[in-house]
Amino acid sequence: MAFELPNLPYDYDALAPYMSRETLEYHHDKHHLAYVTNGNKLADEAGLSALSLEEIVKKSYGTNQPLFNNAGQHYNHLHFWKWLKKGGGGTQLPAKLDAAIKSDLGGYDKFRADFIAAGVGQFGSGWAWLSVKGGKLEISKTPNGENPLVHGASPILGVDVWEHSYYIDYRNARPKYLEAFVDSLINWDYVLELYEAAA
């Protein structure tokens, strides 16, 4: 399955002031495109290009680091763009998700604090995640392009804490970026869709 760069599901200005046009142009048009271009080349060289993206991510983990880096980041970003929306975030989440967050993570406020802390606490580049593992929600963080798929979990929400995701808008203030992500950008409907598929 050839990797393809998707169009953003909104205009480049749609997420301002929380994420600027300039950030999206660099992040989507340049960084994500590079993962697609390199990933296709490396998957082809490894003889894995006929597999699904998820299979390539799992197969290359621990065996082909360059391919894993690009395939993992392509997978992460395919979802990342859909995890964002204008007027998103905050406490207006679907009832089913709210109930799961209450029972598994101690409620919305605790989820918010722990998810932000995971992103702040990821040293260097990486991601913070909300995933389903063993039927329950869990929060985790991973370095670089790694994701919960390779740890037997299904990611339903992720935030990119590579500097290219926030430095134009927030400079070194990663916590402010993470607060804006949770409070103003999360597309809870897409999180619910992935939650229902995983559960």
**Buried-exposed string 38-64: b where 16+ CB fall within 10 A, e elsewhere:** bbbebbeebebbebebeebbbbbbeeb
Q: Is 77 annotated as a binding residue?
A: yes
Q: Look at the block and give the residue holding tokens 């299904």.
A: 154
Q: Is 11 annotated as a binding residue?
A: no
Cβ proximity of 198 and 154 under 8 Å: yes
Q: Is 31 annotated as a binding residue?
A: no
Q: Is 160 annotated as a binding residue?
A: yes
Helices assigned H by DSSP within 61-173: 65-82, 95-105, 108-121, 167-170
Q: At what angle do helices 53-60 and 65-82 cross, to 10 degrees?
A: 140
Q: Which residues pair with 132 in a beta bridge?
A: 137, 154
Binding positions for Mn(2+) are 27, 77, 160, 164
